[in-house]
C-alpha cells in the first residue's frame, strides 16, 4: 500500500471511531433493520459514509449505481479513502447482443471477479461496485468455472489438437497469432492461448505430445514475460448478454451476509425503467434481481433528504473559497477547537498551501483527494485545488 493510500486508510479508520451522531444512528439502524435510507449526502460524501461503514460493520458490500461511469468514479472515491474496491463492469456498457459485441477487456474483468468470488475466502472481494446492467448480465457459475480450469505443468502429456478443438468449440477464435483475449493459435508444436480471464497469453511449447515449457508473453511483440513450471489455465468464455446469455446473476453468488448499497436510488430506478422495456429477458432478470435483493440488507445513500438519517453534507461549490481567503477561513474554522483536515492532490500543492497557512495553525495535512466536504462534529474537510 502506498504512503498516500495508507494515510487515507488511517483517516477513514480515525473517522469511523470518532463521535459522529448521524453515522452512529446509521450504524444502529443497519444492525436493526433490513432496509435503511440515508440522505443529504453530496458527491463523495456517499463514498465516505460507505468507507466508515466498511470499517465498523460486517461485510461484504455490493454497491449498486446507475451506470458504469458512475461505478468507476465511485471506486476511485473509495480508493482515495484507502478502501479497496472491486469494479464489476458490464460486458458492454450499451448492452449490445452477441459475444462479438462485447468489450474483451470488460469480459476479462467480469471473469476475474467471478473467479475471486468462487475462490478461497481470503481472495473474495469485500466490496464490489457495479452498475444495474452489469448486475443483470450473467456470469459463469462456480461449478462452470471449476470445470473450465485446466492444470498444466512441464513434462505433462497434452493433446494439443484436442485442446484446440475444445477451445474453438467453446467460443475461442483460431488466429495466426494470439493477440487478444479469446484467441488461440497452433503453429507446429507451439500452442498459444489468450484466455478471456488472463492478463497475458500463455505459450505452451511441446516436444511431441509432452509440454516442454510454459511461459506468458507480451501479445504486442510476442516476447516472453515469465517462465512457469505449472499453471492453472482458466478456459471460461464470455457468458453473453441479458437476452442471449447463459450463466447466473451476480446476486446469486453474493454471500448471504452481503449488504446491497444503492447510491442515488432515483437514478437507479430511472435506469431500471429503461432496461425493463428493452426486452422480456431484461424484465425477467430485473424480477429475479429484485427477489434476490429481498434476501439481503439494503442501504440507500442519496443526495436528497431521506426518511431515516440525514447528514449535514454540502457540495464543494457551496463551501468554496478562493486561495487568498483560505487562511482566514481556516483560522475562523479552527478558532473554536474544530480540527481542519486539508486534503491536497499532490506534494507540490501541499508545499504551496503550507506556505499560505504559515500563520493559521491547528491544521492537520493529509494526502489524497476528497471531492466534496462533509461537515462533521469532529472535523471539517477542506479540498485544496489552486
Separation in Å, CA 13 to CA 18, 85, 104: 9, 16, 37
Give the pLDDT score at 375: 41
The grid cell for 341 is 483536515
Q: At what angle do helices 265-276 and 280-293 cross, to 10 degrees?
A: 140
Nearest to 248 by CA among 140, 148, 134, 170: 140
The hierarchical CATH code for the domain 149-234 is 3.30.2060.10
Give the pLDDT score at 201: 94
Q: What is the C-alpha separation between 193 and 360, in angstroms, rounded?
A: 61
Q: What is the C-alpha separation between 164 and 179, in angstroms, rounded?
A: 16
Residues 173/183, Cβ–Cβ less than 8 Å:
yes
Nearest to 53 by CA among 32, 33, 28, 79: 28
Under DSSP, is residue 19 helix (H, G, I), strand (E, B) or coil? Answer: coil
Under DSSP, is residue 78 helix (H, G, I), strand (E, B) or coil? Answer: helix
Give the pLDDT score at 19: 58
Q: Where are the domains of the chain?
A: 3-143+239-310, 149-234, 315-384
Residues (pLDDT < 50) of the chain are: 1-3, 98-99, 362-380, 382-386
> Under CATH, what is the fold of the domain 3-143+239-310?
Rossmann fold (3.40.50)
343: phi then psi, degrees, rounded to nearest 5: -110, 115
Give the pLDDT score at 246: 83
The grid cell for 187 is 503453429
pLDDT tens, position by position, 41-85: 988 889 989 999 998 888 899 999 999 999 999 999 998 888 999
User: Beta strand 313-314 with 35-39: parallel, antiparallel or unpaired?
Assistant: unpaired
Domains 3-143+239-310 and 149-234 share a fold: no
Residue where the block lists cell 476475474: 112
CB within 8 Å of 36: residues ≥ 6 apart: 26, 29, 30, 298, 299, 300, 308, 309
Count of CB atoms situated within 10 Å of the CB of 359:
7
CB within 8 Å of 208: residues ≥ 6 apart: 189
Amino acid at each position: 500500500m502506498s504512503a498516500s493510500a495508507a494515510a487515507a486508510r488511517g483517516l477513514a479508520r480515525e473517522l469511523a471511531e470518532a463521535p459522529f451522531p448521524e453515522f452512529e444512528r446509521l450504524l444502529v439502524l443497519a444492525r436493526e433493520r433490513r432496509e435503511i435510507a440515508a440522505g443529504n449526502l453530496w458527491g463523495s460524501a456517499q463514498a465516505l459514509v460507505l468507507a466508515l461503514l466498511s470499517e465498523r460493520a460486517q461485510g461484504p458490500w455490493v454497491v449498486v449505481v446507475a451506470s458504469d461511469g458512475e461505478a468507476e468514479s465511485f471506486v476511485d472515491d473509495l480508493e482515495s479513502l484507502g478502501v479497496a474496491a472491486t469494479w464489476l463492469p458490464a460486458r458492454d456498457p450499451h448492452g449490445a447482443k452477441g459475444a462479438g459485441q462485447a468489450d474483451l477487456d470488460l469480459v476479462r474483468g467480469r471473469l476475474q471477479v467471478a473467479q475471486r468470488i468462487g475462490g478461497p475466502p481470503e481472495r473474495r472481494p469485500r466490496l464490489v461496485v457495479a452498475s444495474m446492467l452489469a448486475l443483470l448480465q450473467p456470469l459463469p457459475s462456480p461449478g462452470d468455472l471449476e470445470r473450465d480450469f485446466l492444470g498444466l505443468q512441464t513434462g505433462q502429456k497434452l493433446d494439443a489438437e484436442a485442446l484446440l478443438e475444445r477451445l474453438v468449440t467453446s467460443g475461442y477464435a483460431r488466429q495466426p497469432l494470439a493477440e487478444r483475449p479469446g484467441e488461440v493459435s497452433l503453429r507446429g508444436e507451439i500452442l498459444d492461448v489468450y484466455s478471456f480471464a488472463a492478463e497475458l497469453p500463455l505459450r505452451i511449447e511441446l516436444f511431441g505430445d509432452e509440454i516442454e515449457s510454459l511461459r506468458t508473453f507480451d501479445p504486442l511483440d510476442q516476447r516472453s514475460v515469465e517462465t512457469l513450471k505449472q499453471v492453472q489455465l482458466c478456459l471460461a468464455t464470455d457468458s453473453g448478454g441479458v437476452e442471449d446469455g447463459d450463466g447466473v446473476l451476480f446476486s446469486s453468488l453474493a454471500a448471504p451476509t452481503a449488504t446491497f448499497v444503492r447510491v442515488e436510488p432515483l437514478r437507479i430506478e430511472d435506469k431500471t425503467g429503461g432496461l425493463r422495456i428493452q426486452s422480456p429477458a431484461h424484465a425477467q432478470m430485473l424480477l429475479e434481481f429484485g427477489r434476490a435483493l429481498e434476501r439481503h440488507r439494503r442501504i440507500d445513500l442519496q443526495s436528497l433528504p431521506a426518511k431515516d438519517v440525514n447528514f449535514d453534507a454540502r457540495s464543494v461549490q457551496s463551501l468554496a473559497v478562493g486561495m487568498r481567503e483560505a487562511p482566514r477561513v481556516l483560522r475562523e474554522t479552527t478558532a473554536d477547537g474544530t480540527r481542519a483536515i486539508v486534503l491536497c492532490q499532490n506534494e507540490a500543492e501541499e508545499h504551496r498551501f503550507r506556505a499560505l497557512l504559515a500563520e493559521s495553525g491547528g491544521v492537520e495535512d493529509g494526502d489524497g483527494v476528497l471531492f466534496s466536504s462533509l461537515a462533521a462534529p469532529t472535523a471539517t474537510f477542506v479540498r485544496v485545488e489552486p
